[in-house]
Amino acid sequence: MNKLKVAVIGCGNISVMHLDSIEALDEAELVAVCDIKPERAAAAAEKYHTKAYTDYHEMFAKEKLDVIHLCLPHYLHTIVAKDAFQAGIHVLSEKPMSIRYEDAVSAVEMAEQCGLQYGIIFQCRYNTPSMLVKKRIVDGRLGAVKCGRTTLTWYRPDNYYGGSDWKGTWDKEGGGVIIDQAIHSIDLANWFIDSTPVEVQSSLHNRNHEIMVVEDSAEGLIKYENGCLLSFFAMNNYLIDEPIEIRLVCEHGTVRLSYDEAVITYDDGTVESVVNQPQKIVAYTGGKPYWGKQHAVQIDQFYRAVAGLDALEISGKEALKIQKIICDIYQNDDNKFAKKQR
């Protein structure tokens, strides 16, 4: 396989997970980085021995790129993805795909029309505990999920938002604890349930933040076509980042899952458990513990799909499922918090 020529757009917090992965993977060569903040582009270019751009249009014109990685504020993801498709470039975007569902749908359609790969990062699906639970649901040992709940209690004080020019805003982030943090755990539960949501109920609040205007607390219920009920609770008013928790009641047992471990208790009394192991050993030079270590696994899978060696696992089309749920949570908020604020 010829090395893919890749670039990263957005050199903020998460970019290190992409840049370290690119450096560690044989299939790709980093040819440029881009950030509108020149000092961030320059620092990443120096660290990873590559070229720096501050305008991605200029980078598209000057570099012959196969793939771009998008590590941008949420509202820019589909805008830049569509520009890339127009330039014939495959796109791997950080979550969420977009703020508005319609934008995500049109980006997926455009990728299909252009015959390009469009992947969305949900690296928690590649945590070994998540993979074991999915395997046991699919192979029938656990069987289908009948009911579930997800809990996230994390710490995002006002100064977390004060340090960002886009987080905590409706127009650039698109929401708070749901679209940014709980999206991963709700995606995991939805992936396990693997049925179509028929009703999404939610209640959103900002209970304890002054600088940022989006929700810091959310709870609700998702009803599925197959009868499964998923309850969710998420809030950013805790003092530490507790491990997220997903509980599932399945046909033949129950599951307790966090990003770090899974404990499956089967109805016959046997217990199966696993702790998270990095599947690709990459010397990540930054990142937060709860991001896990699986970015390189998903990036590798994406490159194999671009090379035609594999079907893309978390495609834009697949990610539309969680995008629809996230957008419905904001749309259906019975507190009308999002609508009052916008």
What are the residues binding ligand NAD (CB under 6 A)?
9-14, 34-37, 40, 56, 71-74, 76, 94-95, 121, 123, 164, 180, 291
Q: Nearer Cβ to ligand NAD, position 250 or 326?
A: 326
**Identity of the residue, 56 or 118, whose beta carbon is nearer to ligand NAD in the bound complex:** 56
Dmax (CA) for the chain in angstroms is 62
Task: Say how many Å lie between the first and final Cα of the chain, rounded.
Answer: 48
- Is residue 9 helix, strand or coil? strand
Closer of 175 and 253 to ligand NAD (Cβ): 175
Structure tokens at 12: 């903020």
Q: Which is nearer to ligand NAD, 20 or 137 (CB)?
A: 20
Nearer to ligand NAD, 37 or 62 (CB): 37
At closest approach, how far in Å is the CB of 336 from ligand NAD?
25
CB of 237 to ligand NAD, least distance (A): 19
96 cis-preceded (ω within 30 degrees of 0): yes
Q: How far is the CB of 10 from ligand NAD (least distance, A)?
A: 3
138-142: Cβ within 8 A, 24+ apart: 140/252, 141/252, 141/253, 141/266, 142/248, 142/250, 142/251, 142/252, 142/253, 142/255, 142/264, 142/266
Q: Which residue is nearest to ligand NAD (CB)?
A: 12
Minimum CB–partner distance for residue 225 and ligand NAD (Å): 28
**Shorter beta-carbon distance to ligand NAD: residue 40 or 156:** 40
Q: Toward ligand NAD, which CB reaches closer, 291 or 302? A: 291
Cα(22)–Cα(32) distance, integer angstroms: 12
Distances (CA, A) of 332 to 178, 179, 214, 219, 325: 13, 14, 15, 12, 10
CB of 231 to ligand NAD, least distance (A): 23
Distance CA(67)–CA(338), nearest Å, equals 35
Q: State CA 254 to chain mean position distance.
A: 25
DSSP assignment letter at 285: -
Rounded to the nearest whole angstrom, what is the least distance from the CB of residue 12 to ligand NAD in the complex?
Answer: 2
For the bound state, the minimum distance from the C-beta of residue 63 to ligand NAD, rounded and expressed in Å, comes to: 14
Residues 6+ apart with CB under 8 A from 124: 130, 184, 185, 187, 188, 259, 292, 294
Measured CA to CA, the distance from residue 131 to residue 176 in angstroms comes to: 27
